[in-house]
Amino acid sequence: MEEKEKRVAHPYIPNSVPEIKEELLKEIGIESTEDIFGQIPEHLRLRRPLNIPKAILSEYELKKHVTELLSKNKNCEEYKNYLGGGCWQHYVPAVCKTIMERDEFLSAYVGEAFADHGKFQAQFEYASCIGELVDMDMVNTPTYDWAMACATTVRMASRMTGRSKALVAKSISPERLSCIKDYACSATPDIELVNYDPKSGLLDLNDLKDKLSEDVCVLYMENPNFFGVIEKDGQEIADLLHSKGALLSVGVDPISLGVLKPPARYGADFACGDVQPLGIPMSYGGGLGGFIATPDEPKFVAEYPSLLFGITETIEEGEYGFGEVLYERTSYASRDKAKDFLGTMAQLHGIVAGVYMALMGPQGMKELGEGLLQRAVYAVRKLSSVKGIKAPYFNSYHFKEFTVNFDDTGKTVADINKALLDHKIFGGKDLSKDFPELGQSALFCITEVHSKKDIDELTEALASVLGK
Amino acid sequence: MTNVRLRKFHQAHWDEPIIFELSVPGRRGLIPPAPEEEIKEAAGDPKGLVPEEMLRKEPPALPELDQKRVLAHYIHLAQETLGGNLCNDISQGTCTMKYNPRINEELAAHPGIASLHPWQDVDTAQGILEIYYKFEEILKEISGMDKFSLHPQGGAHAVYTAASIMRAYHRDRGELDKRREIISSAFTHPCDHAAPATAGFRLIILPPSENGYPSVEAVKAAVSENTAGMFITNPEDTGIYNTEIDQFVKIVHDAGGLCFYDQANANVLLGIARAREAGFDMCHFNIHKTFGTPHGCSGPGLGALGVRDHLAKYLPIPTVEYDGTKYYLDFDRPHSVGKVRQFQGPAGVLVRTYAWVMTIGQEYLKEVSEISTINHNYLQKKLQEQIPEIEVPYAPGRRRLEEARYCWQKLLEATGVSTTDILRRVGDFGLQHYWTSHHPWVVPEPMTLEPCESYGKEDLDEYVAVLKHIRDEAYSDPEIVKNAPHKCASHKLADETALDDPKRWATTWRAYVKKKGRA
Ligand SMILES: Cc1ncc(COP(=O)(O)O)c(C=O)c1O
């Protein structure tokens, strides 16, 4: 048996003061917690102390310990980072940080609108701003990430059409494709990839026509696609799908929508994406949250698995109230009979994205988008001045990201990226495993955190690494 | 009980307009950095950098505000939100509303996590990978499982991932076509029914016996050659510990199924009992409940999924490994279900929980469980002493572990005041309103309270006093309860049916404006 030693009260456990603990036991009328835990059968009990580290009780030492671990990482403030691909290094405004840290939002949960009015309103405003970006009237509360969002649109489309085959553009993120395959497979066991044109990187319309049939429920594609290529045939693609009774779901980078046409305007039925670029730190890929938007029609609304926060009125004259739209859809209400499942997802990131969009406003989104377009062009021009580098690999318009091919340098992306570390640079994402047809290519991302000087230095570093 | 003075509370009520109503053309909240002149010159007019068909002609109609107004607006909204760190939040039973330490927010904002890209060379991410690895080691010890995945972003997400793994397991054995049935119990969380259903399984949900959980006979009768597995929690939502749990597991195993243990809320079992000894193949912990990280208005959380060795090969990729000198990511796992989320999961939540568990440590982890069960048993005793109408259905005389599902049916019958009235009135005293029950309400007029280790005796006494006061009001002035709240950030909804009516519902301002005919 463990001996009872008198211990200091833990700062997080008010009743761990030994006298209080004793007093409560007395009040309950028992001698020890064994009188409660004793009901657990002995063979299910753990009768030894857990073999885990001893408590670091002082906050100072705890901070030191964790900070030392975190300092072993090389972060993207120390290194210049050119990785993107769904987790992007954009500037995080101070007001976003302030709101993200507020204890009220941080530590709230599933309270209702009378006591958590602000949470509901902030979520409603977030959805309203996303609605403006994508030009659609119905927007959900965030799901885990873009991958779950796009996979959910596939499931929704399958239910709406009663069909079990889905088409997915090959030019989407491989990680999102993997999620779709796992998450949608019980609804659309048949998932077929639609090729991209090897020269332009655009969705191959002929391949789409070949694969499109009356049993297809949806095409999921991205714009800009994973290679940063801006698709141009959106309307034609939508028309093709609709002619067969299928739907179109388009994944977007929301930060592109100050300058790029929203999918709804070229016939898309679903728009989805990630809130991460909208003021959320990357956090090693932790800063994600997926959005889904559709027309505000019952046939769409009925198929959302997410909570949908709606605006209404209270009994007080002129006061906005909030609540859940069509709650019966959700698994909280209908369990296994619900539309998919629901849980704790990414609401805090939605709220912060709402703050970001309110700060940026229409002009901010437009100016930022224009600057991203221009920086990418400049970067492409600079990089392609290095002998052996082909940038961009695809002959198309690009937004924020583009592919760089190193086949003529005789070096692999892996080797180049290793060498770039000596220049304190994280080079572009190596595509050679996921897209072997692109040879030794990497996906580079340029955002507003990159200056002309950074891009020039990247070019010099590459030239030096390649020995040119 | 100490004498409690009820709080003269009033929540902030800013009557804050919707942000679009605050918009004034031309105002700016933030100026993004412009590219240098050389870049602009080299690239030319941005309109020429987008295919004509894809150019957005006018910018999105976002609100236009100055920065101070944006900040003030959101601080107002924050003040109209009753986060757990602010108040006595033993209200949200099953949710384990712990204190979310400030130091963990400071750590999560450190550039060594906040400014990491998930695809950085692993040589430059050794610190975060070490945290993954060490935290997994700790969870392995606490649960007895052999390997963990920290990819799922919430409890339901971990439950879904477990269902996906079960599917892969039966598919590998060529039995998936046949094994489509999942067994569960009525007082298990809805996601344990919905997530396996999403993965393509059918549910058999067993009703409670007088113990509060299904009988061994019912489980025996439910299994067959169609059984894929069991998804169950323990203690169930009622706080009642199922003492026959290992027999359930054995019955399902003997029928060829796998067993998943929903340990979202394991707050009273830390160092007391583990999934391994009960025979489970998998379990998960809600890190945002049991391991101290914030709920964030409902995410991001972390659903840590643990499995025994025979299922390890199915875990999502990549896993975090250590070769004796270096941590690395293992993508080369051909049996893996693939990805259930991009990248490596909610890493910021991981940093917070690592800090939490390191300061709780071996000495206090079991104390967390002891204090939680003491807090609960004290609260239940006081509630039943003070409020004779409160009942605790099922398993009479058995102590609940961390929470109880109470029943206000008697008070409803005596006064016409219902549990949904009472929970709204609770808000008038500065407490978060309480959780009733998931649907369907098997226990009538339910209330579920969970006074985890973060609450002191004064908090428990306060809660009892508030409920006692409201109970007295139900007799003396029932209207004050039925029309509550009176002192919260907003009021009772005028007409909840509006939210189910396509002509009146609106999840965006633009939809609302259209439907209301407002400009
Ligand atoms: C027992 C149990 N299981 C699962 C869940 C679902 O977890 P999450 O909300 O993180 O998806 C919860 C949370 O309420 C729970 O209490």
Band (A111; pLDDT cuts 50, 70, 90): confident
Q: What is the distance between the alpha carbons of residues B436 and B237, in angstroms, rounded to a whole number?
A: 11
Mean pLDDT of A82-96: 98
Ligand 1 in contact with B265 (CB < 6 A)? yes
Spans in chain B with pLDDT lower than 70 = 1, 518-519
**Cβ–Cβ contacts within 10 Å for residue B309, how many?**
10
Q: Are B195 and A341 in contact (CB under 8 A)?
A: yes
The verdict on the CB of residue B262 being under 6 Å from ligand 1 is yes
pLDDT at position B446: 98
Taking CB atoms and an 8 Å limit, are A286 and B300 in contact across chains?
yes
3-state secondary structure of A164: coil
CA angle, residues A324, A329, A334, in degrees to nearest 5: 110
Note the pLDDT of residue A425: 98
Helix (H) or strand (E) holding B373: helix B347-386
Candidate from A66, A73, A347 with C-beta closest to B296: A347
Whether the complex's predicted ipTM is more than 0.85 is answered with yes
**Interface probe with B: pick from A144, A300, A375, most Cβ of B within 10 Å:** A144
- Residues of chain A positioned with their CB less than 8 A from the CB of B43: 373-375, 377-378
Q: Measured in angstroms, how far is the CA atom of residue A343 from the centroid of ligand 1?
A: 7
CA–centroid distance, residue B116 to ligand 1 (Å):
29
pLDDT at B518 (0 to 100): 65
CB contact (8 A) between residue A321 and residue B98 = no
Q: What is the CATH number of domain A80-91+363-466?
A: 3.90.1150.10
Predicted local confidence at residue A4, as pLDDT: 54
* Amino acid B3: pLDDT: 82
Which residues neighbour B58 within 8 Å (Cβ) at sequence distance 6 or greater?
Answer: none
The identity of residue B48, as a single letter, is: G
Residue B36 DSSP code: P
Query: In a 3-state reduction of DSSP, which class is residue A138?
Result: strand
Q: What is the pLDDT of residue B281?
A: 98
Tell if the CB–CB gap between B374 and A33 is shorter than 8 Å: yes
Query: Read out DSSP for A307-368?
Result: --EEEEEBSSTT-EEEEETTGGGSHHHHGGGSSS---S--HHHHHHHHHHHHHHHHHHHHHH
A7 in B contact zone (CB under 8 Å): yes
**Over A223-285, what HEC string results?**
CCCCCCECCCCHHHHHHHHHHCCCEEEEEECHHHCCCECCHHHHCCCEEEEECCCCCCCCHHH
| B53 contact residues in A (CB cutoff 8 A) | 232-235, 261, 266
CATH architecture entry for A94-356 = 3-Layer(aba) Sandwich (3.40)
The per-residue pLDDT for range A401-417, each reduced to its tens digit, is 999 999 999 999 999 99
CB A230 within 8 A of CB B50: yes
Pocket test for ligand 1, best of B265, B405, B452 (most atoms within 8 A of CB): B265
Domain ranges within chain A, ordered by starting residue: 2-70, 80-91+363-466, 94-356
Question: Which of B241, B342, B360 lies at the smallest CB-CB distance from A176?
Answer: B342
Q: Which of A203, A192, A209 is nearest to A154 (CA)?
A: A192
Distance from CA of B110 to the nearest CA of A (A): 8
Give the atom of ligand 1 at the shortest distance from the alpha carbon of B262.
Answer: 3
* pLDDT, position A1: 42
Q: How far is the CA of A35 from the centre of ligand 1 (A)?
A: 28
Task: Label residue A43 exposed, middle or buried (CB < 10 Å: 0-12, 13-18, 19+).
Answer: exposed
Measure CA B482 to chain center: 29
- Does residue A89 sit at the B interface (CB-CB below 8 Å)? yes
* Residue B209 Cα to chain centre, angstroms: 27
Shortest Cα distance, chain B CAs vs residue A399, angstroms:
8
Q: Is the dihedral of CA A423, A429, A431, A433 positive or negative?
A: positive
- Measuring from atom 15 of ligand 1, which residue has the nearest CA? B264
Give the CA count within 13 Å in the CB-facing half-sphere of B188: 32
Dihedral through CA B389, CA B392, CA B394, CA B397, nearest 10? -100
Taking only residues 324 to 353 of chain A, the set having a beta carbon closer than 8 angstroms to any beta carbon of chain B reads 324-328, 331-338, 340-349, 351
In short, whether B96's Cβ falls inside 6 Å of ligand 1 is no
Instruction: Please name the amino acid found at residue A255.
Output: I
Q: Measured between beta carbons, which residues in chain A are less than 8 angstroms from residue B100?
A: 103, 106-107
B189 lines ligand 1 (CB under 6 A): yes
**A55, A87, A381: residue with CB nearest B117:** A87
C-alpha torsion angle, residues B492, B494, B495, B499 (rounded to 10) = -70
Q: Does A384 touch chain B (CB under 8 A)?
A: no
Average pLDDT, chain A: 97
> What is the rounded average pLDDT of the residues A61-84?
98
DSSP state of A92: -
Total-model pTM: 0.98
- Which tokens go with A66? 């964790």
Asked if A75 is an interface residue toward chain B (Cβ–Cβ < 8 A), one would say yes
At residue A5 the predicted structure's pLDDT band, cuts being 50, 70 and 90, is: low
Q: What is the pLDDT of residue A116?
A: 96
Q: Give CA–CA dist A306/A345, Å, rounded.
A: 9
Averaged pLDDT, A151-169: 98
